[in-house]
Amino acid sequence: MKQITILSGKGGTGKTTIAAAFTILAKRSVVADCDVDAPDLHMLLHPEILEERGFRGSKMAVIDDGRCIKCGVCREKCPFNAITEDLKVDSFSCEGCGVCTIFCPVNAITLTERISGHVYISRIKYGFMVHALLNPGESNSGKLVTMVRYNAKLLAEREGCNLIIIDGPPGIGCPVVASVTGVDAGLVVTEPTMSGVHDLERALQLLRHFNVKPFVCVNMYDINEDNANKISKFCEENGVEVVGKIPFNPVVTEAMTNGKSVMEYSPESNVSREIASMWDRLCKELSLR
Amino acid sequence: MNQSLEIGLCHLGAFRSLDLNLSSEWEAIIVIVAVASGKGGTGKTSLAVNMAISIGNAQLLDCDVEEPNAHIFLNPKITRQEPVYRLVPLVNEELCNYCGKCAAFCQYNAILAVKGKILVFPELCHGCGGCILVCPKNAIGEGRRRIGVIKEGVRDNLSIVWGELEVGEPLAVPIIREVKRHMDRGRDVILDAPPGTSCPVIETVKGSDFCILVTEPTPFGLHDLKIIVEVLDEMGIPHGVVVNRAGIGDRKVYEYCKGKGIPILLEIPYQRRIAELYSRGMPFSLEMPGWTDKFKKLFEDVKRLVGD
């Protein structure tokens, strides 16, 4: 089984557009939306939910008011300043470490698991999809990504799919790390802007750090061809293959507004053709055909 | 050249204080304004930078420590740099009797006790120090691990602070905390948040007087806007929306904001010129007439909303 992650560093470069198009081109695969903070892939692939599972990702300190003697030791000892002046737990600050439970002289504090999100296993026209939603403001999105990927793998094995396509979150922090560990290839989608260039370098470093074979796609390359060329040169010097250069085309937003992947909405557009050629290249690389 | 620049800035300062004397109370208040979005790439940094330049005499804190970009647009003179360390356990194997209490206590699976061995996974550690407290043999001490760097810089009358998470380190929150520790409470502060809605965003917007949400009028933009609005509602942080790339997509963002009573503070149209300037790392308000005033007005509106 092969796994490919689409990532970007910078947000909004077109990860989800490309992930949806790849899913269609792959015909039958498991696609995992690992951008659990802001998942958007379902708006293009319209999953029919088969199963839903609660995600208990984090714990939180809960103070039993009946027992609490208001000594304030918990507030003093909390490493995350998560206990307020009136000795309530600030759920946005509590990281569930449990240090307060050690110090509470009357054992009034317990760590309680909370359902901090949901994982969905769904059917789509082109195979299956595993996606999730972190409850607003919850932490531990890395753990939720791991749960999404675990379910995607089980599903792929059960259904005999030989490919998992992972739509990753932006950034390089914990959910991204969880999205790239152990995959066969990472496609970094960038744009020819100063920010895009800066973030591409960091995303490539991340792939190198985790020993994942990197590929690069320059989206909207014609917004600034100078920068696009700089990216190509940078990649060449670093031995990274640029597998696609996608032109800017408003049809992508139009397709999205119509709830469709550009691959379905306008298969003959220059964008769709370039994504298809990129997919061919990646399939060869991953020996998928 | 330098001299005339300085004189120019003095004038700006003079105008500003004059402004403060003449206008109503809300302009005199100092505010902390966060810029967030849910979806990535909607234009947070562009808005934060253009707004900071337009209002002047402010501090910009770039809290997107995974991919800090604001400095690219400001090209500041770096005045200070300091590494960020995080507390991690250091196990003294001579004292350790492998009882496993530390591993049992750690909520982040950062310590594993197997027969005759203690394994520490420092990148998973949140630095709470609980393991040190529960160890009956006093075998765990405080080690430190470098997880990133904080940089401070100035450009004209703006100061900027940003953090950079080291590649391969998963936890952004400690660096964000460090960036915010540099907050200058003597003037207006603009916080540039990372994308998303989970812990790094919460850490950034916590304590802000107002949050500007930058969105684009597309289904993705709207979907992710709704999530971040839920977060802000729960945190009790007042907010308003800036629609970037106005003209693309559809009208659903506007309908949603109207229905929820969320003010639309500014629209930035989709224009190739803006996109090109952005791609070259240039704040577009410096190149396109009229925008400095629009960003100033945006900030004044925010102050008025905070004052109310």
> Which residue among A98, A111, A199 places its CB closest to the CB of B67?
A199
pLDDT, position B16:
38
One domain, residues B237 and B285: yes
Give the C-alpha separation, B71 to B177, whole Å: 19
Nearest CA in chain B to A97: B107
Tell me where in chain A the CATH 3.40.50.300 domain(s) lie.
Answer: 2-55+118-285
> Which residue among A10, A43, A139 places its CB closest to the CB of B40?
A10
pLDDT, position A182:
95
One domain, residues B52 and B98: no
Please indicate whether, in this complex, the C-beta atoms of A95 and B126 are within 8 angstroms of each other: yes
Is A177 in the B-facing interface, judged by CB distances under 8 Å?
yes
pLDDT, position B26:
54
The CATH number for A65-107, chosen from 3.30.70.20, 3.40.50.2000, 2.60.40.1180, 3.40.50.300, is 3.30.70.20
Residue B44 falls within a domain, yes or no? yes
Domains held by chain B: number: 2
Q: What is the pLDDT of residues A250-266, one digit of tens each?
A: 999 999 999 999 999 99
Give the C-alpha separation, B12 to A226, whole Å: 36
Q: Residue B112 maps to which CATH number?
A: 3.30.70.20
Residue B79 falls within a domain, yes or no? no
Residue B9 falls within a domain, yes or no? no
Looking at chain A, the whole-number percentage of residues with pLDDT higher than 70 is 100
Token output for B234: 């729960």
Token output for A212: 């994942």
Inter-CA distances, A118 with A18, A135, A153, Å: 24, 8, 17
B305, B299, B244: which is closest to B55 by C-alpha? B299
* Contact criterion met (CB below 8 Å) for B225 and B256: yes
Token output for B29: 């208040």
pLDDT, position B25:
54
Query: What's the first-to-final CA gap in chain B, in angstroms?
Result: 43
Q: For residue A58, what are the β-bridge partners?
A: A114
One domain, residues B105 and B43: no
Is A129 in the B-facing interface, judged by CB distances under 8 Å?
no
Residue B118 falls within a domain, yes or no? yes
Structural domain range at position B128: 86-145
One domain, residues B41 and B120: no
Nearest CA in chain B to A101: B130
Q: Say yes or no: ipTM exceeds 0.85.
A: yes
Please indicate whether, in this complex, the C-beta atoms of B41 and A198 are within 8 angstroms of each other: no
Please indicate whether, in this complex, the C-beta atoms of B195 and A138 are within 8 angstroms of each other: no
Cα of A177 to nearest chain B Cα, Å: 7
For A69-79, what is the mean pLDDT?
A: 96
Give the C-alpha separation, B100 to B137, whole Å: 11
> Which residue among A80, A206, A256 places its CB closest to the CB of B167?
A206
Token output for B171: 């936890």
Give the C-alpha separation, B84 to B145, whole Å: 8
Please indicate whether, in this complex, the C-beta atoms of A38 and B172 are within 8 angstroms of each other: no
Please indicate whether, in this complex, the C-beta atoms of A250 and B248 are within 8 angstroms of each other: yes
Cα of A65 to nearest chain B Cα, Å: 22
Indicate whether A168 pLDDT > 50: yes
Please indicate whether, in this complex, the C-beta atoms of B171 and A16 are within 8 angstroms of each other: no
> Which residue among B41, B198, B250 places its CB closest to the CB of A11?
B41
Residue B49 falls within a domain, yes or no? yes
Residue B35 falls within a domain, yes or no? yes
CATH no., domain A2-55+118-285: 3.40.50.300
Please indicate whether, in this complex, the C-beta atoms of B67 and A170 are within 8 angstroms of each other: yes
One domain, residues B48 and B97: no
Residue B97, amino acid? N
Please indicate whether, in this complex, the C-beta atoms of B107 and A169 are within 8 angstroms of each other: no
One domain, residues B193 and B301: yes
Q: Which residues of B touch A59 (CB under 8 A)?
A: 107
B278, B245, B242, B271: which is closest to B257 by C-alpha? B242
Contacts within 8 Å (CB) and 24+ apart, B142-146: B142/B87, B142/B88, B142/B89, B142/B90, B143/B87, B143/B88, B143/B89, B143/B90, B144/B85, B144/B86, B144/B87, B144/B88, B145/B85, B145/B86, B145/B88, B146/B83, B146/B84, B146/B85
Please indicate whether, in this complex, the C-beta atoms of A96 and B206 are within 8 angstroms of each other: no
Q: Which residues of A touch B171 (CB under 8 A)?
A: 173-174
Per-10-residue mean pLDDT for chain B, 308 residues long?
A: 35 38 60 96 97 97 97 97 94 93 94 89 92 96 95 97 95 95 96 94 96 97 96 96 96 98 97 94 97 98 94
Residue B239 falls within a domain, yes or no? yes
Q: What is the pLDDT of residues A20-39, one digit of tens each?
A: 999 999 999 999 999 998 99
Residue B247 falls within a domain, yes or no? yes
* Per-residue b or e along A105-135, where b marks 16 or more CB atoms closer than 10 Å to that residue's CB: eeebbebeebebbbbbbbebebbbbbbbbbb
* Contact criterion met (CB below 8 Å) for B196 and A170: yes
One domain, residues B206 and B121: no
**H and E: helices and strands count for chain A:** 11, 9
One domain, residues B108 and B252: no
Q: What is the pLDDT of residues A104-140, one digit of tens each?
A: 999 999 999 888 899 999 999 999 999 999 887 777 7
Average pLDDT over chain A reads: 95
Residues 260-289 of A with CB under 8 A from B: none
Q: Residue B230 maps to which CATH number?
A: 3.40.50.300
Q: For residue B280, what are the β-bridge partners?
A: none
One domain, residues B191 and B295: yes
Q: Which residues of B touch A111 (CB under 8 A)?
A: 107
pLDDT, position B8:
33
Give the C-alpha separation, A89 to A112, whole Å: 12
